[in-house]
Structure 1
Amino acid sequence: MAKHNNTMYWWNGIVFRSLAAVTLLTALIGGLSSLMLREQVVARAHTDAQRRLEELLDTVENTASVAAFANDEQLAREVVQGLLRNTEVRRVSIHGATAPLADADSSQPQNTRHPPIQRRLMSPFKQGEYIGEIRLEAHWNAIYRQVEADAQHAMLLLSAQTWLMIFGTAGMVFWVVVLPIKVISDRLHHLDASGSDALTVPEGYDKTELGRLVDDINDLKGRLISTLDQERALRWQQNIAQRMYQDLFDHSTSGIFVADLQGQLLSFNPAFVELTWLPPLPSEPTDRRLVDAHWDEAGQLLQLIEHSTQQHESCAADLLLHGPRSDERWLNIVVLPLGDGTVQGTVTDVTARKREEMSARRLAVTDPLTGFANREGLFQAHACLNAASDAPFAVVMIDLEGFRQINDALGFSVGDQVLLMAANRIREAAHPDSFLARVGGDEFVIILRSLGEHDTVETWINNLQTRLSKPYKTDTTPISMGSSAGIALFPHDGTDIQNLLHCAKLALGSAHDSRHGVQTNPYLFFHPELLKQAEYRRRLEDDLRLAVEQRELKLVFQPIVDLRTGLLAGAEALLRWQHPERGAISPEVFIPLAERIGLIGEIGRQVLNEACRQAAHWRQDGLDIYVSVNVSASQIPEELPPESILETLRRHGLPSQAIALEITEGVLMGNISVVQNWIAQLRAAGLRIYLDDFGTGYSSLSYLKRFPMDTVKVDKSFIMDMSDDHTLVDAIITMTGSLGLTVVAEGIEEIEQLDLLRAMGCGYGQGYLFSRPVAAADFMATARRINTDMARSAA
């Protein structure tokens, strides 16, 4: 920091100025005080002279009164001469009532004009009588000379005091204030502002304002030095940052540019030229424009710059760029306004990301296994189809029959092979302008754009189902399966893809329901009657909810007979629904409906509770039998956990053997580990587990090894065919017996069937031969009849 080198004269110093200021101020105050003092002295002297003259008259007043009363001129002259002896009296006169008595003066000059002092003379002998007057003129010149002398003496004393005060005050200010300030000033003048030395306080002034001033100066100096250090550090960092920015600017892999609002390039780095494939130009960089690159939408880039400048915010966009070799590159442009009519932009190659996004969008609308569109892709494509043409087309929904069993039995890898082969057959059968989609596990949708008529679609679907019915050669074994199809026509059945798919789904559901006997590859066109059926099912759902809530579902019981003794062993609880308007509704209708709408759990709990209540009632009446209850796959394990089942038994006071649980093969096709754990817990508690409808599933024999069962129930379809061939039933009984399982034969209606089953060693049976399902109130009579009649026949 440079020192102050200007020459300073002594009269500019604080010492001279302080002393001069004190002297002038004190002199001015002293002069004003002297003038005020002189005026006060003169006024006081005049007043004192007046008082003295009045007192002088008081001393001679009686004598003058006597002289005036007696007209004694001699006495009057003596009084006058006596008064003139006073130096302050210049002239005295006494007048009687009628004539002057005496008059004399001191013959001294008089420069002032003051009125004389007069006093009336009253008779000393007669009160209130005027007899004359006495008049006295003061010698004011003499009085004022004395007053002036007194005033000069006082002013001399005051001047002496003033000068003493001036010198004392000046000295005190100099030594107490001025000199320390001068010392501090001299030290501060020679102090190096950038050095580490501190300004010292004069001795004795540490705790004064000067000490605080020095401390403040030192503190300010410290902060100044710190600020200077920070400034130097910031300047150093700025220099480093500038070099780093320049290095990044030159070597960055991202393109950086500065341009004006018209797209004129003011600055750019080499990466920008490389990324944008700017053509080489011999001129300066300022001659280049952003639009010189082959953008797919150059106008969008200029709009981006304009929007960023107007809104004063950063803007970004992904733009497609065409290269010199017909290649393409996606660039992300980020534009930031600089506030001076220019923008700074950053360019990054996002081609890989854009390709991934496009691939992800394709995957979002594409089934990864078959390459067909998925449901979302189907909706998007249909919007394009409608926009392109209003020509008639058909929506065909295909479902592969038995595909779920393939997954369960052979695994998902085999199932995927079958799906892929089925998709290839659909692709081969489809017309070139058809649209293919997979909308479910084994559900396919084909939009036939060139086939909009009923007959042509029928011919095509027959051909497709013929292809789909041929065996599929997988890695493990050839597989054969059929298919069902539902067809909706545009615009006859609907104009919206959602409606068309709904119509096709309804037709597909009806095609499923129509698969009986030798019918194969069924297909159905949508018919408005299907909507009525769907509405019927919807209303049936509402009625079922109400029926469950009001406990309108009732149990009936079909006896289970010990074929060896002919005695009643148990009863199967069967659920019935007598609709107040529609009459009896089959369990094959309302049980799947209850599973679909989530009522099966509540129904299962009601059935179990009623079965336990009835079993306990029969046992109290002496009928010691068990009751078997059917369990749906949807009830395992959450809706009917083992703890809930055992609690119901305890609540009704029943042993574990009083209730048997019948499950179907569909239960075992779910989560195997969960089902195994559920069965194991119940069997450990003493409950018996029956496998119902044995022999009708895809791989029933394998379940006997994987799941711990007590009893199998042979499906009635095998019992009905025993008159022609009973080998299969005999094999089932023999096999289950070797596994330690009990067999219950369902659907026994004829005595010949009973005899054959007894001969085969079948343990138990049920069917119309013994009894149809009966209400709980009639069961005791049925039980007594069976025990009487069947025991007799068994004997």
Structure 2
Amino acid sequence: MAERNAVHWWNGIVFRSLAAVTLLSALIGGLCSLMLREQVVVRAHTDAQRRLEQLLDTVENTASVAAFANDEQLAREVVQGLLRNSEVRRVSIHGAAAPLAHAESSGPQNTSQPPVQRRLMSPFKKGEVIGHIRLDADWNAIYSQVDADARYAMLLLSAQTWLMILGTAGMVFWVVVLPIKMISDRLHHLDATSSETLTIPEGHDKTELGRLVGDINDLKLRLISTLDQERELRWQQDIAQRMYQDVFDHSTSGIFVADLHGQLLSFNPAFIELTWLPQPSAKQPWRNLSEPRWAESQQLLQLIEHSTQQHESCAADLLLHGRRGDERWLNIVVLPLGDGTVQGTVTDVTARKREEISARRLAVTDPLTGFANREGLFQAHAGMHVTADAPLVVAMIDLAGFRQINDALGFSVGDQILLMAANRIRESTNPDSFLARVGGDEFVIVLRGMAERSAIEAWISHLQARLGEPYKTDTTPISIGSSAGLALFPGDGVDMQNLLHCAELALGSAHASRHGAQTHPHLFFHPELLQQVEYRRRLEDDLRLAVEQRELKLFFQPIVDLHTGLLAGAEALLRWQHSERGAVSPEVFIPLAERIGLIGEIGRQVLDDACRQVAHWRRDGLEIYVSVNVSASQIPEELPPESILETLNSYGLPSHAIALEITEGVLMSNVSVAQNWIAQLRAAGLRIYLDDFGTGYSSLSYLKRFPMDTVKVDKSFIMDMNDDHTLVDAIITMTGSLGLNVVAEGVEEAAQLDLLRAMGCGYGQGYLFSRPVAAADFVATAKRINTEMGRHTASP
């Protein structure tokens, strides 16, 4: 061990450190010496060139005089004077025509460097060259001196380098190497399992060596702590093993270990109890799940095989059947162990499974009537186009006025009626019919074994008669009607989704017939209903495009002051001229816009176009107002008061330039919201008209509850005025007493106009004055009305 740990002196850190410092310093010193010598040579050459130039500067004027005078004697004196310089090797002076003087010193020559030459200029005539002087340096002498200087400098640098090497080596030895050696020696003799620690070398408390010693001590302490933890973990593992064995033996969940072939390697008593397997004995030591002792063993073997092949945990719920006819649901989870075996757990989930089955049953069942719900209807008839072998009738029935009963009498009474209606439906259908409640008051009956329309008509009529009989509730007997839509399989559809859709369309058509001339309590589906749906869908797309491209245009119908016969204002009426369908009535596209959510954008466009047109007319001198219709769905979010006032301000209009017409439906939708909306607009100076007055349930009460300015009498009263004008007279008298103006709509005859004037009606509107006209034609219409009606009013 001692020989293995012995370190030779040339492998020691001291020798290696000194050798590294010496080599590095010598290398750096050598490179520096070479660089220094090169710099000395370059500088000496430059200095020599500069000195030669200075020599020429001192004799240039004298040489110029000698060349000008062609004085050879003077030229030789100049040459001899220059040659006395030890750095000059050869000198020659040439005149304009011939050489004047030449001299050179003895010794070896160095012709590697070019001579120094200078032109001699005339001292009397500027710019005239009269000769030149040439000087060759003695570079051998110069370089000899340079070599001597370089050797001296290198000698000094070498001495300095070796001093640095010795100083650095000593410093490294005392400051670094020696403390490291001390640390290494102490660490070599340190007991790793004891609490003994290394001591920091003196003076190295805050150096890297001190930190190294601290890190070593920390590492040693962590190692000791890790060993202690390992011993603790082993002790805990022993306890856990004993606890696991106890849990394994006494767990209520079954635990087993098996191989791919179903061979049981280990199992606990709960596994035997839960799986109803017989206890193994010496006579029957069964150990394989493939033995025919458990009917569901094949499912477990498949689960084990899948888990082993896919290397993933698998789970499944298995239903066990006991010998006495009882059942038990087991949840089995199998986890691969990686060596061809699996570990499994078995849990009794019978209670949970029964709850799930009950929950699934509730998910497809209507809790009030016990019928299937919409989801249950679709689940029960999934794939019916494959399984149905006889005609079917899908009847969809709803109760007329059921929502009003809920609103008036409460949901408890509504539930009683629904239960009684469900019982009547159950009593009026065959036992094999399928019954469902798919909405609040909507029932679906899937009737089997009936193909003739006459028989279906008789059955549905009988059912609707039963549903129409009075219902004896806790409060009072209630009578309600019903509507029904019928679809036939397979003529109207081959799956329940299509059949139910067809029945809904037929039901909707039956609903619509309630408000028509002919009432149909039930209707069969007809393909024309689909065409109507497609027509409405295309009309929706066209309306969206028309709103986007602003194809809806405003027409204006004049409102005339009946006392003066002059034009007072106009009502803005929206018109849609479809490129293919022609003129589309507002009674068609306005409800459509409300249903698809376009009414807000249409309302903003109407208000903007009306304000723009009124501003244009007022600039041209036509001082009238325009009334704009507002629907219930526009209040308050789509047309808030702030937005209306901002639009008026953007066109520079006063608040009385625009009036807003609302119907009783607006007021009935939300009383508090409508009151607040009207109050804000009237406070800002806008006028509010109540349109179609007299057609609602309680119009007179609204005049007291809501701050109105004007009442517009519905045209149906004006049309009947020739026979009986008592009601119109009463409305005009009553509204006048409340300080309200009256506009009579639908004035078409002069006799009606005379009666209205006699009653004191303030304003009139109708075809007698003008039909709705485009904005471009309105000015001419206004002039005609002011001329004709003013003359008629002025005449006796």
TM range (shorter): 0.5 to 0.7
Change (3 A) 1:347 1:511: same
- 8 Å Cα contact 1:295-1:319 kept in structure 2: no
Aligned: 1:609 with 2:608:
yes
Q: Secondary structure at the match of 2:381?
A: helix
The answer for the alignment partner of 1:592 in structure 2 is: 591
Q: Deviations over 1:297-341 (max 9, x none)?
A: 543222112211222221111223345664544332111123454
Change (3 A) 1:269 1:497: same
Instruction: Give the drift of 1:628.
Output: 2.2
- 8 Å Cα contact 1:452-1:490 kept in structure 2: no
Q: Deviations over 1:118-153 (max 9, x none)?
A: xxxxxxxxxxxxxxxxxxxxxxxxxxxxxxxxxxxx
Instruction: Give the drift of 1:586.
Output: 1.5
State how many pairs are aligned.
602
In structure 2, distance between residues paired with 1:519 and 1:278: 74
Instruction: Give the drift of 1:238.
Output: 0.8
Aligned: 1:497 with 2:496:
yes
Aligned: 1:239 with 2:200:
no
- 8 Å Cα contact 1:693-1:715 kept in structure 2: yes
State how 1:178-217 maps to structure 2 within 5 Å. Answer: none
The answer for the alignment partner of 1:382 in structure 2 is: 381
In structure 2, distance between residues paired with 1:652 and 1:668: 29
Q: Secondary structure at the match of 2:606?
A: helix
In structure 2, distance between residues paired with 1:396 and 1:373: 14
Instruction: Give the drift of 1:721.
Output: 5.9
- 8 Å Cα contact 1:668-1:675 kept in structure 2: yes
Letter in 1 for 2:300: L
Letter in 1 for 2:782: M
Change (3 A) 1:348 1:580: same
The answer for the alignment partner of 2:525 in structure 1 is: 526
- Give 1 or 2 for the bigger CA radius of gyration: 1
- 8 Å Cα contact 2:572-2:628 kept in structure 1: yes
- 8 Å Cα contact 1:333-1:347 kept in structure 2: yes
Q: Secondary structure at the match of 2:451?
A: coil
- 8 Å Cα contact 2:769-2:785 kept in structure 1: no
The answer for the alignment partner of 1:462 in structure 2 is: 461
Change (3 A) 1:695 1:14: closer
The answer for the alignment partner of 1:312 in structure 2 is: 311
Letter in 2 for 1:640: L
Q: Deviations over 1:564-616 (max 9, x none)?
A: 77765543222222334433322112222333444333322222222223333
Aligned: 1:333 with 2:332:
yes
The answer for the alignment partner of 2:450 in structure 1 is: 451
In structure 2, distance between residues paired with 1:290 and 1:672: 76
- Give me the TM-score of the superposition, normalised by structure 1: 0.62
The answer for the alignment partner of 1:66 in structure 2 is: none
Letter in 2 for 1:548: V
- 8 Å Cα contact 2:393-2:489 kept in structure 1: yes
The answer for the alignment partner of 1:515 in structure 2 is: 514
Q: Secondary structure at the match of 2:335?
A: strand
Change (3 A) 1:377 1:296: farther
Match of 2:782 among 780, 783, 787: 780
Change (3 A) 1:655 1:395: farther
Q: Secondary structure at the match of 1:452?
A: coil
- 8 Å Cα contact 1:555-1:573 kept in structure 2: yes
Q: Secondary structure at the match of 2:257?
A: strand
In structure 2, distance between residues paired with 1:414 and 1:678: 36
- 8 Å Cα contact 2:566-2:786 kept in structure 1: no
Q: Secondary structure at the match of 2:600?
A: helix
The answer for the alignment partner of 1:655 in structure 2 is: 654
Q: Deviations over 1:1-24 (max 9, x none)?
A: xxxxxxxxxxxx989xx9xxxxxx
The range that moved more, 273-282 or 299-308, is: 273-282
Aligned: 1:395 with 2:394:
yes
The range that moved more, 704-713 or 440-449, is: 704-713
- 8 Å Cα contact 2:567-2:782 kept in structure 1: no
Letter in 2 for 1:506: L
In structure 1, distance between residues paired with 2:271 and 2:704: 71
Q: Deviations over 1:222-241 (max 9, x none)?
A: 78865653332122111221
Structure 1: give runs of 5+ residues left out of the alignment.
Answer: 1-12, 19-179, 202-213
State how 1:163-182 maps to structure 2 within 5 Å. Answer: none
Letter in 2 for 1:788: G
The range that moved more, 695-704 or 380-389, is: 695-704
- 8 Å Cα contact 2:513-2:520 kept in structure 1: no
Change (3 A) 1:655 1:456: farther
Change (3 A) 1:364 1:223: closer
Letter in 2 for 1:510: S
Instruction: Give the drift of 1:247.
Output: 4.0
- 8 Å Cα contact 1:265-1:286 kept in structure 2: no
In structure 1, distance between residues paired with 2:223 and 2:677: 83
Aligned: 1:576 with 2:575:
yes
- 8 Å Cα contact 2:468-2:481 kept in structure 1: yes
State how 1:94-173 maps to structure 2 within 5 Å. Answer: none
Change (3 A) 1:193 1:604: closer
In structure 2, distance between residues paired with 1:571 and 1:402: 39
Letter in 2 for 1:629: V
Q: Deviations over 1:255-276 (max 9, x none)?
A: 3333444545554445545544
In structure 1, distance between residues paired with 2:263 and 2:620: 104
- 8 Å Cα contact 1:563-1:764 kept in structure 2: yes
